[in-house]
Amino acid sequence: MADVEELKRKAGIEACKFVKSGMKVGLGTGSTVKHTVVELGRRMADEGLEIVGVPTSLATEKLALEVGIPLVELSEIDGLDIVIDGADEYDPQFQLIKGGGAALLREKIVAQESSAMVVVADDRKKVTTLGAFPLPIEVTPFSHEATVRALSRLLDCRVNIRMAGDGPVITDNGNMIADAHTGPNINDPVSSETNILLIAGVVQVGLFNNMCDAVVLAGTNGVETVINPSGRLQE
């Protein structure tokens, strides 16, 4: 079996095939997409690729600057050509759970503003039904206990504030992350997203519905690209 980290690196590099000179590129967050960011920087230096990037997290912003990718604010441009990002789960309908890295709000804004979305993942993220990975939900610090109780009632599962050491994880936007332990039971992610967003105190939820156009998948047999037949991309 090939080394998982090496496969993730190859998948991250393979995703760069969708990026062409002149594009405005959303730069995702995570252990696989970091290889995409590094490869885009290499192509700029060695092959003359010309792009600008919009990072989805402070960590990605730092890495992009280190490898020489010029960055712009999303507010400075009229949309993005493509975003390349990771996922914690994806199902046969190309619906996603994201937010394991606590960057889901920025990731979703960037994905919403992109003409196409490519996800880079390893085959452990491929599931039949979403929910085995705890669903991340970004919530306001104010009265977060009440928000967690409301989420638990709605989803009929345990919901907890994500911790880091002695305190809660704080997102780049100053919010908290509530993880909902639904189990693999999110059969209608579109309705789940709608209902969760109706709760006051919820900022955003890590269900990325009808956004993913392709998955570059690292598996035991190597790297493959799976195109969403209903998506906006052709390989």
Q: pLDDT per residue over 12-26, tens digit each?
A: 999 999 999 999 999
Strands (E), the chain: 24-27, 52-55, 82-85, 89-90, 96-97, 117-122, 135-139, 158-161, 163-164, 167-168, 176-181, 202-205, 207-208, 214-219, 222-227
Which of 47, 43, 57 has its CA nearest to residue 13?
43
pLDDT value, residue 7: 87
Fold topology of 135-205: Alpha-Beta Plaits (3.30.70)
The question of whether 107 is a catalytic residue gets the answer yes
Catalytic residue (one of 14, 61, 89, 107): 107
As its CATH architecture, domain 4-123+209-227 has 3-Layer(aba) Sandwich (3.40)
Answer whether residue 105 shows pLDDT above 50. Answer: yes
pLDDT bracket for residue 2 (50, 70, 90): low
Answer whether residue 5 shows pLDDT above 90. Answer: no
pLDDT bracket for residue 189 (50, 70, 90): very high
- Alpha carbon of 1 to those of 69, 130, 222: distances in Å? 34, 26, 9
Where do the domains of the chain lie? 4-123+209-227, 135-205
Find the radius of gyration of the CA atoms of the chain: 17
Distance CA 37, CA 66 (A): 10
pLDDT in tens, 35-63: 999 999 999 999 999 999 999 999 999 99
pLDDT value, residue 39: 97
Distance CA 63, CA 84 (A): 15
Mean pLDDT rounded to a whole number for the chain: 95
Region 166-174: what's the mean pLDDT? 96
On whether the CB atoms of residues 11 and 217 are closer than 8 A, the answer is yes
Distance CA 101, CA 54 (A): 17
Answer whether residue 235 shows pLDDT above 80. Answer: no
DSSP 161: E
Answer whether residue 1 shows pLDDT above 80. Answer: no
